[in-house]
Amino acid sequence: MASQYKPIEILFKHADGIDISMDVYLSPSASSQNPAPILLWWHGGGLLQGTRKGVSPHHLRAPANHNITFVSADYRLAPQFRLPTILSDCADAIKFLHSDQFKKATEGRADPTRVILSGSSAGGWLSLLCGYGIGFDEAGVPKPPSIQGVVPIYPITDLEDPFWNTTQRPVKYMDRVVAYEEVQPFLNPNDPESRIASSALDSPRAIFYSYMVQEALLADLLLSGTNIPPTTFSVARYLKALSSANKISVPPTYIVHGDKDLKVPVEQSRDVVEALEDLQKPHVDVEYEYEELPGLDHLFDREPKSQMEKMYMFIQNVFSSQ
């Protein structure tokens, strides 16, 4: 990684005493007198694998190009930790932005009063759950502080989608079946060596997501033993309930998805966008934008040439309106 992209690494302590890491990339033009707003991002991997280090090139350029404090935070991984624990990790990361420890580490150059949540794939789902407050009551987890916007990138949004509940041997983007033996250690929820909050992109665990899709295991891996139904964490279902109850409380939202995505079907985003549209009522304006990119697959924004111009324009508009 180029030296100008070297982050400040911070350990933040959760309510249960666990330390988890976040990387903070400061804007070179920010100061304690003029702190830069924060874009807090979570990595993908089905909540089963991945690391805060898996950022895209446009993320690394964002502090200098857009005067943004970019923060990438880890969270504990399933199935050793179920979705309620992962939600608590994400909520604690948001709370930590308001702490004296964060202010000291960043020299006051990051503005915790202006925060937009983002994430890629499963991380995009986390941003929606945290930004909208979905599933926290059912999971017994205190909701995080309010934020100014949500920017999910090709997000998972609904565990009930047939994509997650239909076996694929092999999955469409691989030419072989993943053997049980390749993932056996990671499947054991009680394996102490698998109780981690980060896995390198080139580690053996990197095959876990494909095995999960192959065997249609996502809901089981995230929720087994919690007695929480998968529908609890359906974003479109939550929004439709808001509509029927005439309760409109949704932060500004920008969603982007490629229409040839083989790892998270584009229908996951389309369903949420349809539900957001249904929230529109006379004299009520729900602020959202949807960008569907033709011909693009999962992880398209990891290409060095990807600038994500519309996404950053949306982010800047939200921050400037605060």
Spatial separation of the C-alpha atoms in residues 141 and 91, rounded to whole Å: 9
Coil, helix or strand at residue 305: coil
Structure tokens at 30: 């920010």
- pLDDT, position 9: 97
- pLDDT, position 65: 97
Mean pLDDT of 46-70: 98
Q: Enumerate residues 6+ apart whose C-beta is below 8 A from 144.
A: 90, 91, 94, 95, 130, 133
Spatial separation of the C-alpha atoms in residues 33 and 176, rounded to whole Å: 56
Which residues, in sequence order, are bridge partners of residue 69?
38
What value does the mean pLDDT of the chain take?
A: 95
Structure tokens at 317: 């508009």
Please state at what angle helix 208-215 crosses helix 180-187, rounded to 10 degrees.
100
Query: What domains can you pick out in the chain, each with its CATH number?
Result: 3-158+231-320 (3.40.50.1820), 163-221 (no CATH)
- C-alpha distances (whole Å) from 108 to each of 8, 99, 113 are 13, 11, 12
- pLDDT, position 4: 65
Contact 127, 118 (CB under 8 A): yes
- pLDDT, position 108: 98
Spatial separation of the C-alpha atoms in residues 192 and 189, rounded to whole Å: 8
Residues present in the chain in total: 322
Contact 266, 292 (CB under 8 A): yes
- pLDDT tier at 225, thresholds 50, 70, 90: very high
The proportion of the chain whose per-residue pLDDT surpasses 90, expressed as a percent, equals 90
- pLDDT, position 39: 98
pLDDT in tens, 140-159: 999 999 999 999 999 999 99
- pLDDT, position 3: 40
- pLDDT tier at 58, thresholds 50, 70, 90: very high
Which residues, in sequence order, are bridge partners of residue 13?
19
> With 50 as the cut, is the pLDDT of residue 18 above it?
yes
Strand segments (E) across 43-154:
69-73, 110-120, 149-153
Backbone angles phi, psi at 93, to 5 degrees: -65, -40
